[in-house]
A and B are shown apart, each in its own frame.
Chain A
Amino acid sequence: MTAASPLISELRSFLADESALVAKKFAANGDGREALAQRTLLVEEILKRLWVEYISPQQLESGGLALVATGGFGRGWLFPYSDIDLLFLHPDRESEAKNKDAIRRFSQELWDLKLKLSPATRTLAECDHFDPNNTEFTISLLDCRFLLGSRDLFFRLHGKVIPRMVAREAKALLEGLAEVTHARHTKFGQTVFHLEPNLKESPGGLRDSNVACWMATISAMSKLGDWPQVSSLRAPVRKKLDAAIEFLMAARCFLHLRQGHDDNSLSWEAQDEAAVRKIGALDLPDLSAADWMRIYFGHARAVQRTVLQLVEEIPESWSSLRRQFQGWKSKTANTDFSVVDGLIFLQQSSSLQDPELLLRLFHFMAVHGLKLSTTTEYRIEQALPAMAVAPPRGTELWLYLQETLLQPHAAEALRAMHALRLLTLLLPELKPIDSLVIRDFYHRFTVDEHSFLAIESLHKLNQSKSEWDQRYAELLSELEDPELLYLALLLHDTGKGAPGGNHVTSSLEIANRCLDRLDVDPQERAGVLFLIENHLEMSAQLRRDIFNPETVAAFAEKIGTPERLKMLCLFTYADIKAVNPEALTPWKAENVWQLYIGAANYLNRSADHRVHSNDGDEKLARLRSLAPVTGARFKEFVEGFPRRYLQVHSAEEVMRHLEMAQALTPGSVQIDLKRGRHWYELTLVTQDRPSLFATLTGVLAAWGMNIVKANAFSNQAGVVVDSLHFTDRFRTLELNLSEWQRFKDNIAAVIAGKADLDKMLRDRQRAEKNMRVKVVVETRVDFDDQCSSTSTLLQVIAQDRPRLLHRISSCLSRERCNIEIALIDTEGQMAIDTFYLTAQGKKLSSEHQKKVSQALLDDLKILESANPS
C-alpha cells in the first residue's frame, strides 16, 4: 500500500458519486451544456487534489510548471466518457526533467481512476513550433485554459506564443485543417444523411462545429495578431451554429451515458430512445424517431454548410486584390452573379425579390458546379419569407426546374436549394421526405439524399470509365425527354413519408399533386407517373429468370414502348446505385442490362401484333370511354392497327387521329403540324397508296428537314397514320410563320401527284453543301423472318444523312415491298430504321430479301458518294 491510496479511494468514490449526480441531473433536465460543465468541474477538482499531492512540492523547487486544459476539456466541454486533454507546460528542458517522475505518478493515478487521459508535455519553445504532421496539437492549443501551477508561464503561452505562432502559420494551419476535414468527410461519403450517423465524426457532427470555430479564430488572429474579443463568425451563422451545438451536446451526452463508454454512433435503438426522451428538443411535443432524426439532420446540415463554406472561403482570403482580380476575370460571371474562388456572389444590383433570379441562380450553380458564398446564402434566406407568400409555380417553375435537372451538377444545386428550404418551398410535396430515415438495412442514406444521389449517379455516368456505366451513359444520351426521368427520380420515394404500407401508391398521389403544381403537360405527366408506378418493376423481374423468353415478353408488354423501357432501365440503375455505394454490383448491372436488351429486342420484333377492337385491353377500354358517341366508327378505326400504335400514341392523340380519319374524303390527306420542345411533329392521316411513306419522307428531305423519328402504321381499312418527328435544320418554319401552311399544302400536293418531288429534291441537293460526318457508321442490312407471323422485318443501320429515309423507302417501294410498319430512330450520327415488309400480302421470299438487300446497299453507296464522309 502506498501513502496515496486513501486519497485515491476517496477520489474514486467522489468521482462515482458526482458522476451519478451529473447523470441524474441530465436525465431530469436534458441540459447537455450543464452536464458537460459539471463534468468539467468534477475532473478539475480531482486534478487539483492530485496536483497538491504530487506536483506542488516539486514545482516549488523547479520554479514553474503549468497544467493547461486543451481541446474539449479546454473549452469546458467534457463529455462523460471523453478523453481529458492536458498539457504539462514547462518553461524549459530542465523543468521537464525535474518533474518527469511527479507527472508520471500524477498521470498514473488518473488512469487508475479510470479517467481517459491524453497528456502532452511541452516546453514553451516547443509550443511555438508548428509541426505540419501534427496539426492536431497546435489546434488543441486554440482552446487552452489555465488550470494549475505557474500562471505567469500560462500567460506567456496564451498572450504571446500562440497569437504569434498562429499569425505566422495561419495559412498552413488552415490548409492542414481543411485537409483533415476533407479526409474525414470523404470517409463518411461527404454527406450528413447517414441512417446511423456518428455524432462526433460524421459531416455536420461536433467535430465540424469545432472546425468552424477554429477556422474563424485562426482567420481573425491572422488579421489581429491577437485573440479575437468576440466570435469571429457572423451573427446569423453563429446563431445557427450555437443552436446546433446545444442539440449535439445533449445528444452526445445522452449517448455516452446510455452506452457507458465513448461511443458516438447514433444507432437505431439509440434514436428510438432519444426520441422518447426528447433529447435536445424538450420543448417540442411528442416525437417519433423519424421526427427526432429530422431535427438532428437539420442541425447537422447547418454545421456542415458553415464548415464547407469556411473551408472554401478562408484559405483564399489572403489577398483581397487577388480575389477581386479573379472575380473580374471569371469567365462564368454574368450580370447577375460573380464568381470568386469557386463561390457565387450576387452582383450588388441584383434583387432576390425577383423569384426568377433565384431560379436562375440555382440553374447557374447546376451548370457550373459552383457553391454559394455565405453572403449569397444569407441574402437568399432573407428573401424567402417574401417569396413564401406567392411562390412561383406552373409552367414557369417547371421550365426552370427541368433546365436545372438537366445540368451536370443538378444534384448539388438541389441539395443547396434543399438546405436553404427553398426546394420544399417550391415543391412542398418533398417535405415529408426531408431528412427521413427509413430503416431497412439496405438504404444507407435518408430518402431525400437517396433521391439526389440517384439523379447525381446518372449525371456522373459520362465521366465513368466502367464498361457498364458507359453502356448506360449511351442509353441516357438517347433519351428524348431526360428531364422526365430526373423529375420522376426526385419524386419516386415521396410516398415513404406518408402513412400506409405501399409507398408507390402514396408516391403516385403526391407526384400527381406536384405535377399539377408544375402544370406539366398530360403526355409528360403520364411518362413521369409511369416511371414512379413501375420503379420497382425491373428489380422485381430480376428475381425471375430473365433469360426466359416468356418472362421477357410479359415484362416488355407491361412497359410498352422502347422509350419507356430505356427510362425505366436507367431509373433502375440510378435507384439501386443510390441505395448504398456497394448496392449496384457489376453482376447486378449486368442483369439489369440483359433484361433491358431482351425486352428492347422483343419490343422491336413484336411491333406487328394487331389490335382487335374487342380486345379486353386497358387502353382500348379507356379509348372506348372517350369515344362513346363514335363507338362504331372507333371500332372500325382501331381494328387491325399494330398494338405498337396504341403504345406510342396517347389516348388523346388516338382520338385526334380518329377525327382526322373521319374528315378524309377520297384522295385527300389530313395533316397536323405541331412544334414540340425538341422537334416538330407532323402527323399525316390518309388512305394507303403506293410509295406513300417514301413520298412523305422525300418532301421533308426536300424542305431540308431532318427526320429523327418516325412511325408509320395502317389499319385494316387501309387508313394510314404516319407520324414524323423532325428538326428544322434551316429554321424555315421557325422564322417564317407563313411557311407552315405552304409546307402542309406542298406535302398534300406531292402526295396527290400535283407537284414534282424529284425536282424539289434536285434543287435541295444543289443548295446544300456536303455534310461532314464525325463518326463513321458502317451500313448494315439485316432481315428477320422469325419475329413476325405475317411480315419480314428489315433493319437498316446506316450513317445518318439527308434524304436517307427517302432513299431507303423509295428503294423498298421500287423493289415492290409494302411497308406495313416503319419504326425510324436516330442515335447521334447513326440511323436505325426498322421496317415490317410484305410483298403481295406475304412475307418476303429469301430471293426477294437478297435482291432488296443488294438494292439497298447499292442505293446507299450512291448516297454515300454524293455525301462523302
Chain B
Amino acid sequence: MTKLEAVIQNSKLESVKNALQEIGVEGMTVSEVRGHGRQKGHTEVYRGREYSVDLIPKTKLEVVLADGMVEKAVQAIVAAARTGKIGDGKIFLSRIDEAIRIRNDERGEGAL
C-alpha cells in the first residue's frame, strides 16, 4: 500500500477530486494548509503597510491506495492540477505498512 499526499492549488481541489473519483478512488482526507516550495512568498503592499505572504494557502489531499492504483492516481492528479506555472504543487508517495478499519478490525488493502 502507498500513501499519496498531494499539495495542490486551492482552486484545483474540485477537479482533482473528480479525476480521482473517475478512476475509482472514493475516500480521501483533505486539509487546509499553508506553505511554499520554490514558488516562495511575496509581499503585498496595502495602503503603505506591507503584508508578507510567505506561506501561501494551499490544499493538501491524502489518500492511501492499493499499489496497483498509485500510478493511475498520480496521472489523474497531475492532469487535473497542472497549469504549467510555478506553484502547481507536489505529490509525495510513501510506503504504508498496515491499514486497519477501526469498526471491524479488518486489515490490509481490504480496509482501504
Which residues of A approach B to under 8 Å, CB–CB?
542-547, 585, 587-588, 590-591, 593-594, 597-598, 600-601, 780, 782, 795, 797, 827, 830, 832
Between A588, A597, A827, the greatest number of chain B beta carbons within 10 A of the residue's beta carbon is seen for: A597
Q: State whether the Cβ of B103 lies closer than 8 Å to any Cβ in chain A.
A: no
A590 (CB) vs chain B CBs: closest residue: B57
Q: Which of B33, B44, B57 contacts A597 (CB 8 A)?
A: B44
Q: State whether the Cβ of B11 lies closer than 8 Å to any Cβ in chain A.
A: yes
Chain B residues with Cβ below 8 Å from A830 are 48
B48 (CB) vs chain A CBs: closest residue: A797
Interface string of B30-54 (1 = CB under 8 A from A): 0011100000000011111001010
Q: Which of A591, A598, A827, A832 contacts B10 (CB 8 A)?
A: A591
Q: Are A601 and B45 in contact (CB under 8 A)?
A: yes
Q: Are B46 and A545 in contact (CB under 8 A)?
A: no
Q: How many angstroms from the CA of A593 to the CA of B51 in the assembled complex? A: 10
Q: Are B46 and A601 in contact (CB under 8 A)?
A: yes
10 interchain pairs, CB-CB under 8 A: A543-B11, A543-B14, A544-B11, A545-B83, A546-B11, A593-B51, A597-B46, A597-B51, A601-B45, A797-B47
Q: Are B11 and A545 in contact (CB under 8 A)?
A: yes
B side interface size, CB within 8 A? 18
A777 (CB) vs chain B CBs: closest residue: B48
Q: Are B44 and A545 in contact (CB under 8 A)?
A: no
Instruction: Supply 18 further A-B pairs (C-beta < 8 A) apart from A587-B33, A591-B10.
Output: A543-B14, A545-B11, A546-B10, A546-B11, A585-B32, A587-B32, A587-B34, A590-B57, A597-B46, A597-B51, A600-B46, A600-B47, A601-B45, A601-B46, A795-B48, A797-B47, A827-B47, A830-B48
Q: Which of B33, B44, B45 contacts A594 (CB 8 A)?
A: B44
Q: How many angstroms from the CA of A594 to the CA of B57 in the assembled complex? A: 10
Q: Are A780 and B44 in contact (CB under 8 A)?
A: no
Chain A binding surface, main DSSP class: mixed
Distance (Å) between the CB of A546 and the closest chain B CB? 8
Chain B residues with Cβ below 8 Å from A601 are 44-46
Distance (Å) between the CB of B55 and the closest chain A CB? 9
Q: Which of B34, B44, B47 contacts A598 (CB 8 A)?
A: B44
Shortest Cβ-Cβ A-B pairs, 3 listed: A587-B32, A797-B48, A545-B11
Q: Are B53 and A594 in contact (CB under 8 A)?
A: yes
Q: Are A547 and B87 in contact (CB under 8 A)?
A: yes
Chain B residues with Cβ below 8 Å from A832 are 47-48
A543 (CB) vs chain B CBs: closest residue: B11
Q: State whether the Cβ of B9 lies closer than 8 Å to any Cβ in chain A.
A: yes
Q: Which of B9, B32, B47, B51 contacts A545 (CB 8 A)?
A: B9
Q: How many angstroms from the CA of A601 to the CA of B49 in the assembled complex? A: 12
Q: How many angstroms from the CA of A782 to the CA of B49 in the assembled complex? A: 12
Distance (Å) between the CB of A147 and the closest chain B CB? 45
Chain B residues with Cβ below 8 Å from A593 are 51
Chain A residues with Cβ below 8 Å from B83 are 545
B87 (CB) vs chain A CBs: closest residue: A547
Chain A residues with Cβ below 8 Å from B32 are 585, 587-588
Q: State whether the Cβ of B56 lies closer than 8 Å to any Cβ in chain A.
A: yes
Distance (Å) between the CB of B87 and the closest chain A CB? 7
Q: How many angstroms from the CA of A546 to the CA of B59 in the assembled complex? A: 13
Q: How many angstroms from the CA of A546 to the CA of B44 in the assembled complex? A: 13
Q: Are B48 and A780 in contact (CB under 8 A)?
A: yes
Chain B residues with Cβ below 8 Å from A544 are 11
Q: How many angstroms from the CA of A545 to the CA of B56 in the assembled complex? A: 11
Q: Are A547 and B56 in contact (CB under 8 A)?
A: yes
Q: Which of A543, A591, A780, A797 contacts B57 (CB 8 A)?
A: A591
Distance (Å) between the CB of B14 and the closest chain A CB? 7
Chain B residues with Cβ below 8 Å from A547 are 56, 87
Q: How many angstroms from the CA of A827 to the CA of B46 in the assembled complex? A: 13
Distance (Å) between the CB of A551 and the closest chain B CB? 8
A545 (CB) vs chain B CBs: closest residue: B11
Q: How many angstroms from the CA of A601 to the CA of B83 in the assembled complex? A: 25
Chain A residues with Cβ below 8 Å from B53 are 594
A544 (CB) vs chain B CBs: closest residue: B11
Q: Are B48 and A542 in contact (CB under 8 A)?
A: no
Q: How many angstroms from the CA of A600 to the CA of B11 in the assembled complex? A: 21
A780 (CB) vs chain B CBs: closest residue: B48
Q: How many angstroms from the CA of A782 to the CA of B87 in the assembled complex? A: 30
Distance (Å) between the CB of B81 and the closest chain A CB? 11
Q: How many angstroms from the CA of A341 to the CA of B38 in the assembled complex? A: 61
A600 (CB) vs chain B CBs: closest residue: B46
Q: How many angstroms from the CA of A480 to the CA of B14 in the assembled complex? A: 38
Chain B residues with Cβ below 8 Å from A543 are 10-11, 14
Q: How many angstroms from the CA of A849 to the CA of B14 in the assembled complex? A: 47
Q: How many angstroms from the CA of A797 to the CA of B49 in the assembled complex? A: 10
Chain B residues with Cβ below 8 Å from A588 are 32
Distance (Å) between the CB of B58 and the closest chain A CB? 9
Q: How many angstroms from the CA of A367 to the CA of B56 in the assembled complex? A: 40
Q: How many angstroms from the CA of A593 to the CA of B56 in the assembled complex? A: 12
A551 (CB) vs chain B CBs: closest residue: B11
B53 (CB) vs chain A CBs: closest residue: A594
Distance (Å) between the CB of A444 and the closest chain B CB? 19
Q: A588-B32, A590-B57, A597-B51 are in contact. Are A542 and B10 (CB under 8 A)?
A: yes
Distance (Å) between the CB of B31 and the closest chain A CB? 9
Chain B residues with Cβ below 8 Å from A585 are 32
Distance (Å) between the CB of B9 and the closest chain A CB? 6
Q: How many angstroms from the CA of A388 to the CA of B45 in the assembled complex? A: 53
Q: How many angstroms from the CA of A544 to the CA of B34 in the assembled complex? A: 16
Interface string of B52-95 (1 = CB under 8 A from A): 01001100000000000000000000000001000100000000
Q: How many angstroms from the CA of A636 to the CA of B55 in the assembled complex? A: 49
Q: How many angstroms from the CA of A590 to the CA of B56 in the assembled complex? A: 9
A588 (CB) vs chain B CBs: closest residue: B32
Chain B residues with Cβ below 8 Å from A542 are 10
Between B10, B45, B53, the greatest number of chain A beta carbons within 10 A of the residue's beta carbon is seen for: B10
Q: How many angstroms from the CA of A797 to the CA of B57 in the assembled complex? A: 30
Chain B residues with Cβ below 8 Å from A600 are 46-47
A797 (CB) vs chain B CBs: closest residue: B48
Q: How many angstroms from the CA of A832 to the CA of B44 in the assembled complex? A: 17
B59 (CB) vs chain A CBs: closest residue: A587
Distance (Å) between the CB of B104 and the closest chain A CB? 24
Q: How many angstroms from the CA of A795 to the CA of B87 in the assembled complex? A: 31
Chain A residues with Cβ below 8 Å from B11 are 543-546
Q: How many angstroms from the CA of A597 to the CA of B53 in the assembled complex? A: 11
Q: How many angstroms from the CA of A795 to the CA of B48 in the assembled complex? A: 8
Q: How many angstroms from the CA of A4 to the CA of B54 in the assembled complex? A: 78
Distance (Å) between the CB of A559 and the closest chain B CB? 16
Q: How many angstroms from the CA of A546 to the CA of B56 in the assembled complex? A: 10
